[in-house]
Structure 1
Amino acid sequence: MASRAAELYLTATTQFGLEELLAEELRQLGATDLQVGTRVVEFKGNKQLLYEAVLWCRTAVRIMLPFASFAAPDERSLYREVSRIDWSQYLRPDQTFAITAVTNRSNLEHSLYIAQLSKDAIVDQFRARTGQRPSVDPVKPDVRLHLHLFENEAILSLDAVGESLHRRGYRQLTNEAPMNEVLAAGLILLSGWDGRRPLIDPMCGSGTILCEAAMIAQRIAPGLYHQGDFAFQHWPDFEQALWDSVLMDAKQARLEEPQAYLAGSDLSAETLERARQNVAAADLEDYIRLAVRDVRDAQPPKTEEPGIVLMNPPYGERIGAEAEMAGLYKTIGDTLKTNFQGYDAYIFTGNAEAAKSVGLRTSRRIPLYNGPIECRLLKYELYRGTRKGPKEE
């Protein structure tokens, strides 16, 4: 494994559409040789940068350390090549491990079987060399491995994270269709919000967008909310002193004085209570204002300069909800035109048809996904004193 100064080749994964944001986050941390792909960013950095990336990247889902690559056109070659790796460098017999596999355009097509075969090769090596074998724990393993098989070329990686980074740990309760934290942070960063101007979410649901905005404004590292250890803390070359130093720097970076006006509202008192509990769990009550309110009554603060409105309205996936959704999106458009002149508004939606009822011209349309649902982040510039007609579709 690596010394503190050794250069590491690392991989960070993210959601579709957030790759350039993640690359910029890594660049600001000091990563070099960045290569941006679909849902992935490859980069170089030392061990300190790895620790900082796990702690600070708002748009990363996983960060991995690839350590072996080989051709695996069939079962025999896969087992043989995995057996050739000295697994004592990465795993102890008293530790638990799990391996997940993804295959694409390869002779070996069944990912579960590939993972099982690789697991057997690892266990057989330990049993032959030491008489002991590490146990498999698919839920909370000490060491998590990923095997990616593409066109019969295999890459084995150590997962530095463990539980996905989108699970920050502050969300106690969510509504029925929650937006994950990585996507919420991504929407805020895509808007270009500066962390100073007002940010209003008039359909805030369980409050994820507002929590992520507060963390950005107050310079709070999202990894500080992580429950339990990160996976790299179980690696043989883990340096506790370095990790303690990185953690201390992150804790000291937090700004206590509120940096921006952040406000959210929702029509449902029950939903808003969930948001309150999440905000409290994240220790962000000093930075976020919440109120039960219909979207048509949403208002900007009177004294602040114009900021942004960012919302994720329902998509209306129920059968027969088309008219209801058209009415809701028309109400949203009317509210933006009337109450938020001078603001930039962003609507994140998976219902392109309903979005036509907003009645405002979009200045940007960014393709994204919310889980399996294809969505768009729509930007509207709400100029003072002008009413733009509906966009020609």
Structure 2
Amino acid sequence: MGKNFKMVAKTLYGMEELLAQELRQLGASEIEIGTRNVSFEGDTGFMYKVNLCSRIAIKVLKPITAFNIFTEEDLYKKIYEMPWEDYMDVNGTLAVDSTVFSEEFTHSQYISFKTKDAIVDRFRDRVGERPNVDLDHPTLRINIHIDRNICTVSLDSSGKSLHKRGYKTESTVAPINEVLAAGMIMLSGWTGHCDFMDPMCGSGTILTEAAMIACNIPPNLNREEFGFETWPDFDVDLYELIEAAALKKVRDFHFKIYGSDTDVVAINKAKENIKNANLQDFIELKTQDFFDSKKETGRQLYMIFNPPYDERISVDDIEKFYGNIGTTLKHGYPGTQAWMITSNMEALKHVGLRPSRKIKLYNGKLESKFVLYEMYEGSKKASKQ
């Protein structure tokens, strides 16, 4: 086994505890929860494993140094002094992402430019050539994090955000982020133990993530590449070993996942994305208005959906629309755990049902509530007895 080192996994707001739990199950040590991130320790193989298998991480960063800075010149000097030739070749390309929480340093893009200048200047001064910048497919993606006067320099082992799983080639208006979709399913407690439904499925993201959770399929199996694959020390044999071990844990799923939408175009896009993920055997789709539907079996059902908020998708009468959600759940879906996410708090009041749980999340930049309506068979009192 290789030597353990510290890593930081970034995630969405409200998913930190979930990510820590996931990392623990994957085998991480020294776990510490932060805001929108969790730090942990593991070896190189574990870094590969988290990128492949984490449903909740957006990035997995490998910090390589930290130092105090008080001026932009300090930053340039400290970055320039680092042995960048150990991490990339002069013929390679780089990209720099910066996050800044500081009174002295306020412009993250300028910090990225300054970092890039220091790296390319070092190469030019030492070998007479300089690496180029490539923001889309760099050989090395570098992350700069400044908290007051402490600058942490990390290598980005993920490359593009891990929510870009590789299966979604077709998108609808206001699609939900894959990490948010997976996180909502995990927060709901659904693990594949009963039927699952998304009655407003759009391009099928929630359904796809649900099927991967039910079958324990690594979520990033369909990605074209990870950042670490272009590092000088990438061990392809070790990665293939990690991937093979993860695939051995794939399991059968004996219930039903089904989705519907009123939009035929959305259903066709969902079919394409689900096919890209090789999950068409597990998910049934149909064009249907949720308000004309009812539960098809007497079995337990989990429902998770992302209705319009009247933001990016406009609705003629949003209060009536949310009222219809409540009516449909009440009369058509007994024995259902119905979860939905929305940023429209006013419309939410018109559902007319009392949520038993409310979780604050963000859908993009929109502060949202993820709420649970427990629809009992018969009366709630009778169900509890």
TM-score scaled by length of structure 2: 0.95
3-state DSSP of counterpart to 1:223? coil
CA deviation string 1:158-185 (max 9, x = no partner): 0001111001111121111000100000
Quote the residue 2:197 is aligned against: 200
Write out aligned runs for 1:6-155 (5 A).
Answer: 6-155=3-152
CA RMSD of aligned residues (A): 1.7
Residue among 346, 350, 356 paired with 1:357: 350
CA distance in 2, matches of 1:364, 1:306: 19
Mapped to 2, the partners of 1:342 and 1:80 lie a distance apart of 63
In the alignment, the residues of structure 2 paired with residue 23 and residue 318 of structure 1 have an alpha-carbon distance, to the nearest angstrom, of: 32
Q: Between Structure 1 and Structure 2, how many residues are aligned?
A: 381
Q: How far off is 1:52 after superposition?
A: 0.5
CA distance in 2, matches of 1:123, 1:342: 62
Aligned partner of 1:275 among 254, 270, 275 = 270
- Residue 250 of structure 1 deviates from its aligned partner by 2.4
Q: Report the Cα distance in structure 1 between the residues aligned to 2:204 and 2:47, rounded to whole angstroms.
A: 29
Cα deviation per residue 1:322-381 (whole Å; 9 max; x = unaligned)? x71111111111111112112111011111111111111111100001101111001111
* Residue-by-residue CA offset, 1:249-286 (whole Å, 9 max, x unaligned): 2233333x433310111111121111111111111110
* 2:233 counterpart (209, 230, 237): 237
Q: Say yes or no: does 1:182 pair with 2:179.
A: yes
Q: Is the 8 A contact 2:308 2:314 kept in 1?
A: no
- Decide which of 246, 255, 262 is 1:260's aligned counterpart: 255
1: CA distance, partners of 2:258 / 2:113? 49
> Does 1:317 find its partner at 2:307?
no
How far 1:320 sits from its partner (Å)? 8.9
Match of 1:391 in 2: none
Q: 5+ residue gaps in structure 2? A: none
Once residues 66 and 365 of structure 2 are traced to their aligned partners in structure 1, the CA distance between those partners, rounded to angstroms, is 30
CA shift, 1:385, in A, is 1.1
Distance 2:312 2:219 in 1: 34
Distance 1:318 1:245 in 2: 43
Please point out which of 325, 328, 341 is paired with 1:332.
325
* Secondary structure of 1:193 counterpart: coil
CA distance in 2, matches of 1:298, 1:184: 23
Query: Aligned equivalents of 1:123 and 1:146: distance in 2?
Result: 16
- Could you list the runs of 4 or more consecutive aligned residues of structure 1 that deviate by over 2 angstroms after TM superposition? 250-255, 257-260, 297-301, 317-321
1:373 to 332, 344, 366: 366
Note if contact 1:200-1:300 (Cα within 8 Å) is conserved in structure 2.
no
In 1, the alpha carbon distance for the partners of 2:146 and 2:336 equals 47
Say if 2:173 and 2:313, in contact at 8 Å, map to a contact too. Answer: no
Are the equivalent residues in 2 in contact too, given 1:368–1:375 (CA < 8 A)? Answer: yes
Q: Is 2:337 aligned against 1:344?
A: yes
Unmatched 5+ stretches in structure 1: 389-393
Shift of 1:318: 7.3
* 2: CA distance, partners of 1:5 / 1:278: 37
- Compute the TM-score of the two structures, normalised by the length of structure 1: 0.93
- 1:297 aligns to what? 292
Find the aligned partners of 1:213 and 1:47 in 2 and give their Cα distance. 29
> Secondary structure at 2:221's aligned position in 1?
helix
Q: 1-side partners of 2:229 and 2:223: how far apart?
A: 13
Equivalent residue, structure 2, for 1:308: 302
The answer to whether the 8 Å contact 2:94/2:132 transfers is yes
Q: Per the alignment, in what secondary structure is the counterpart of residue 375 of structure 1?
A: strand
Q: Which amino acid aligns with 2:303?
A: V
Contact 1:106 1:149 in 2 (8 A): no
On the 8 A contact 1:261/1:288 being kept in 2, the answer is: yes
Q: Structure 1 residue 288 and structure 2 residue 287: aligned?
A: no
Say if 2:343 and 2:366, in contact at 8 Å, map to a contact too: yes
Q: Which amino acid aligns with 1:269?
A: V
1:319 positional shift = 11
2:379 partner amino acid: T
TM-superposed deviation, 1:293? 0.8
**Cα deviation 1:192-241 (Å, max 9, x = unaligned):** 012120111111111110000000011110111112x2111122221111
Shift of 1:153: 1.1
Cα distance in 2, alignment partners of residues 386 and 352 from structure 1: 27
Q: CA deviation at 1:58?
A: 0.4
**What is the distance in 2 between the residues matched to 1:310 and 1:46?**
36
Helix, strand or coil at the partner of 2:220: helix
Percent identity, aligned pairs only, is 41
**Cα contact 1:217–1:260 (8 A) shared by 2:** no
8 Å CA contact retained: 2:336, 2:375: yes
Amino acid at match of 1:231: G
Q: Distance in 2 between matches of 1:159 and 1:312?
A: 31
